[in-house]
Structure 1
Amino acid sequence: MRQKLQASFLLLTAMLLAFSILGISPVKISAAETFDVQAESAILVDAETGKILFAKNADVKLPPASMTKMMTEYLVLEAIEKGDISWETTTQISDYAFTLSANEDFSGIGLIQDKDYTVKQLYEAMAIISDNATTVALAELISGSEGEFVKRMNAKAEEMGLPEYQFVNATGLGNQDITSIGLQAPEGTDPNANDLMSARSAALLAYHIVNDFPEALDISSTLMSELDGRPLENLNWMLPWEDNNYVQYGFDGVDGLKTGWTKEAGYCFTGTAERDGRRLITVVMKTDSKGARFTETKKLLEYGFSQFGQEELFPEGYQIKKESTLPVAKGKEETVEIASASAIRAAIKNGEEKSYSVKYNIDKEKLNENGELTAPIKKGEKVGTVELSYNGEVDYGYITGQSKTQQVDLVTTTAVEKANWFMLALGSIGEFFGNIFSTVSDTIKGWF
């Protein structure tokens, strides 16, 4: 055994020596190339910058099941912000919603008709246990009918820039599931259609929720609530449960966002967690089981928090060498200094800090035909943008668009006053005679 170990050691030493002599480096496999999750599609996003840290089949449209309710949640929160409704606004349960609530196969919890329910009660049931009837009740309250609400869902998806989506109801049930219990699909939708979203679209929707309405996380992280005396137990097993059945899935910092399951969709989950001021967003679609969606989400979060850090790459006031000034026309000074208006922070993979650079995008509308700014110029005046560029191997882009990068304003660091009329006149005279001299000079040269 000892002789075998010695032989293996000598072989390894010889190989390394050969690599060194021949100038060959042992192959390095990056974490991005070896990392994977057991889901049909998945994505990992930095919630502050929108940078995508990992993606797998992220553009494939799939049924999202109850992750559809994230759009309903967003529109409810938006209606509250606009003052159209409040958390204390009340509504009653329609016959359509009541029929859904009585069906346990559709997460029905059995609502009561002829009773006033507050928006807060309905929203909690929708967000915590994914109840479908309370979701429909909210849609009807906001738009009058679920069919009209679906129109609003699709309009908002377009406004957000979701790249792949189709909303046909507010809940995420298949329309065929709805018709199977004697109900009609929402007006204006195909009775056989499903809601559809890609992992990228689900992540972008979640990105808007956590950034536009962070209060949504207060409810999505609620372990237990109640409605009509019945307990509402959160379906998210990654929250800080003490139950031994769930503790294996727990992940410190998780506070949302939405589970989903239908026969067509399989088990899916849009998750989010915050640690040390950094927030990540994850989506997994079509995993094998209830537990698998959380296990795979945990892998994504561990990868994101361990392999990436939030770094300030370029400070406020950063200037590119040899590009720190712009020429000025009609000013008391001939140039003005320019610099970044704010720092550029990014989610950086460990060891890739030097894979980033910046470039200036000067606003051409600010320049005259000679490429000059025209005085007067104010201090802090925006003259363009500073754009972050990544020069590494794997670039998934940003959740807000395939080609969008991070940018901050490029501004002037001082003011430049307009030159007085006398100096401008002298300048014009000098320019006039200069042009004459140049013309005469060129003419004389042409004689010889």
Structure 2
Amino acid sequence: MTLMFMTVFVLAFSQFAYQPGKAQAESDNLGLKAEAAIIIDGETGQIIYEKNAEKVLGIASMSKMMTEYIVLEAIHNKKISWDTKVLIDEYVHKLSKAPNLSNVGLTQGEEYTVKELYSAMAVYSGNAATVALAEKIAGSEKKFVQLLNKKAKELGLKNYKFVNATGLNNSDLLGNYPSGDANEENVMTAHDVALLAYRLINDYPEALDYSSISKLKFRDGREYPNFNWMLPGLIFEYDGVDGLKTGSTDFAGYAHTGTAVRGGQRYITVVMKSTSKDERFRDSIKLMDYAFDQFSKKEILPAHYQVKGHKSLDVVKGKEDVVNIETKEALDLVVEDDYKEHVKTKLVIDESKLNENGQLTAPIKKGEKLGYITVQVGEEPYGSITNLEAKSIKVDVVAAESVEKANWFVLSMRAVGGFFADIWSSTASTVKGWF
């Protein structure tokens, strides 16, 4: 096969049909009250639905997912442990008694374990417990807020601002707010919340061990129900839900990040600025129903897949003059039931690997990346939560076998053969011209 000047091939397969334009039209019939929403595949981060997902809104106590991430990271890095003791200071004690805030009571001068405080934060959205953990990790909540914003950038969040560890309005922090103005709150987009949730449960799956607790029995002898009422035994119980976090303030409205798994398929949903405490769960149920009822994971391209008509690339200076190319691994996507009708796929060969004649140069190693295949999800694809700019899903294309460089003798003989072949061709053309 001769490949010249052309390194991108558009392929039309009858294997895949999922058009977000269609999904968006259907979503208008979901009747969401939330101002912004998103659904992603919990394993791959593939986005299958979104509504105003790039709008910056208040996140309230969903902020605590970032605090959870940093605590779990500190535990994994052995900076603290679940049994590490945290001494409660006067401010945290007073905050734990503040009216109209979700809290478990924390006694001044008493020590609580990281596990106790994390549980209070993850299950009952304990604000004072969250501040106590922030102080333990960073020395002060002010320094912890700097850590929150730094970690958000590291995780790839795009539009965010953390002014405190809890998600409360600064005015609720008893005059002790760590940054920003007196009435500021934490803000993010639905995209960013979904990415944070995705990273939390994939980097630290044990987060689900706590977010799935319906009722927390604390050392004070009281039982505290989880604010995520979609968990087992609670008001909006939904099959498969095991997380993740709620939030509400006057500024943020009512928000919920949910996650559920059925038959090995996990989805993460986010609703922001819904109209009431109950409505946020109704919105989440609509999103989860839509995902579980309409979508399933299918193998779109198998491992070792070869594109018809483009199964190999030419090679120069090798023991062989071609090398077969194939996908490195299978490509699985969450798709609608009618996915077999249409697909838009591109094979893209890395131009830096090719010479001016579109050929590879030996040696080539088996498994060496030579390009990739993208699957475009509809005319206006959503892509993946981990790469919003890509707007497509891709799988690497690699060399199916190694091609060793030919030795000098073989290369010399090829050159000589090519020289005489050129003379013969020229002579034949001249002789033909005599007649």
Q: TM-score, normalised by structure 2?
A: 0.87
Count of residues in correspondence between the two structures? 406
Question: More deviation in 399-408 or 36-45?
Answer: 399-408
Q: Is the 8 A contact 2:383 2:393 kept in 1?
A: no
Tell me, which stretches of 5 or more residues in structure 2 are unaligned?
Answer: 1-21, 430-435
Query: What is the aligned partner in structure 2 of residue 19 from structure 1?
Result: none
One-letter code aligned to 2:202: N
Query: What is the aligned partner in structure 1 of residue 214 from structure 2?
Result: 223
1:386 deviation in Å? 2.0
**Which residue among 131, 134, 152 is the counterpart of 2:129?**
134
**Which residue among 227, 237, 240 is the counterpart of 2:229?**
237
Please say if 1:146 is aligned against 2:129: no
Query: What is the aligned partner in structure 1 of residue 246 from structure 2?
Result: 259
- Give the distance between the partners of 1:69 and 1:356, measured in 2 at CA: 40
**Which residue among 154, 164, 176 is the counterpart of 1:184?**
176
Query: What is the aligned partner in structure 1 of residue 167 from structure 2?
Result: 172
Larger Rg: 1
Tell me, which stretches of 5 or more residues in structure 1 are unaligned?
Answer: 1-27, 443-448
Closer/same/farther in 2, CA of residues 434 and 160 from structure 1, 3 Å limit: farther
SS at match of 2:150: helix
Q: Is the 8 A contact 1:238 1:250 kept in 2?
A: yes
One-letter code aligned to 2:223: P
SS at match of 2:348: strand
- Give the distance between the partners of 2:423 and 2:69, measured in 1 at CA: 68
1:144 deviation in Å? 1.0
Q: Is the 8 A contact 2:299 2:331 kept in 1?
A: yes
SS at match of 2:281: helix
Higher RCO (CA-CA < 8 Å; seq separation 6+): 2
Q: Is the 8 A contact 2:103 2:125 kept in 1?
A: no
Q: Is the 8 A contact 1:49 1:347 kept in 2?
A: no
Closer/same/farther in 2, CA of residues 423 and 66 from structure 1, 3 Å limit: same
SS at match of 2:270: strand
Closer/same/farther in 2, CA of residues 271 and 433 from structure 1, 3 Å limit: same
State how 1:335-414 maps to structure 2 within 5 Å: 335-390=322-377, 392=378, 395-404=381-390, 405-414=392-401
State how 1:23-422 maps to structure 2 within 5 Å: 31-178=26-173, 181=174, 183-186=175-178, 188-229=179-220, 230-241=222-233, 246=235, 249-390=236-377, 392=378, 395-404=381-390, 405-422=392-409
1:274 deviation in Å? 0.5
SS at match of 1:368: coil
1:53 deviation in Å? 1.7
Closer/same/farther in 2, CA of residues 120 and 312 from structure 1, 3 Å limit: same
Q: Is the 8 A contact 1:382 1:412 kept in 2?
A: yes
1:372 deviation in Å? 2.1
Closer/same/farther in 2, CA of residues 225 and 326 from structure 1, 3 Å limit: same
For residues 4-40 of structure 1, give each alpha carbon's deviation from its aligned partner in whole angstroms, at most 9, with x where no partner exists: xxxxxxxxxxxxxxxxxxxxxxxx9963453341111
1:396 deviation in Å? 3.0
Closer/same/farther in 2, CA of residues 110 and 420 from structure 1, 3 Å limit: same
Query: What is the aligned partner in structure 1 of residue 432 from structure 2?
Result: none
Q: Is the 8 A contact 1:313 1:353 kept in 2?
A: no
Q: Is the 8 A contact 1:90 1:119 kept in 2?
A: yes
Question: More deviation in 32-41 or 57-66?
Answer: 32-41
One-letter code aligned to 1:45: I
Query: What is the aligned partner in structure 1 of residue 5 from structure 2?
Result: none
For residues 87-140 of structure 1, give each alpha carbon's deviation from its aligned partner in whole angstroms, at most 9, with x where no partner exists: 111111122222211113121322012222111111000000000011011111
Identity, in percent, stands at: 49
Closer/same/farther in 2, CA of residues 440 and 36 from structure 1, 3 Å limit: farther
1:438 deviation in Å? 9.4
SS at match of 1:222: coil
- Give the distance between the partners of 1:253 and 1:197, measured in 2 at CA: 27
For residues 342-390 of structure 1, give each alpha carbon's deviation from its aligned partner in whole angstroms, at most 9, with x where no partner exists: 1100010221333323322222332233322222222222222222222
One-letter code aligned to 1:53: I
- Give the distance between the partners of 1:76 and 1:348, measured in 2 at CA: 35
- Give the distance between the partners of 1:333 and 1:75, measured in 2 at CA: 53
SS at match of 1:303: helix
Report the structure, 1 or 2, having the larger helix content: 1
1:430 deviation in Å? 4.3
Closer/same/farther in 2, CA of residues 421 and 313 from structure 1, 3 Å limit: same
Question: More deviation in 253-262 or 411-420?
Answer: 411-420
- Give the distance between the partners of 2:167 and 2:258, measured in 1 at CA: 17
One-letter code aligned to 2:244: L
- Give the distance between the partners of 1:355 and 1:49, measured in 2 at CA: 22
SS at match of 1:104: coil
Q: TM-score, normalised by structure 1?
A: 0.85
Q: Is the 8 A contact 1:49 1:406 kept in 2?
A: no
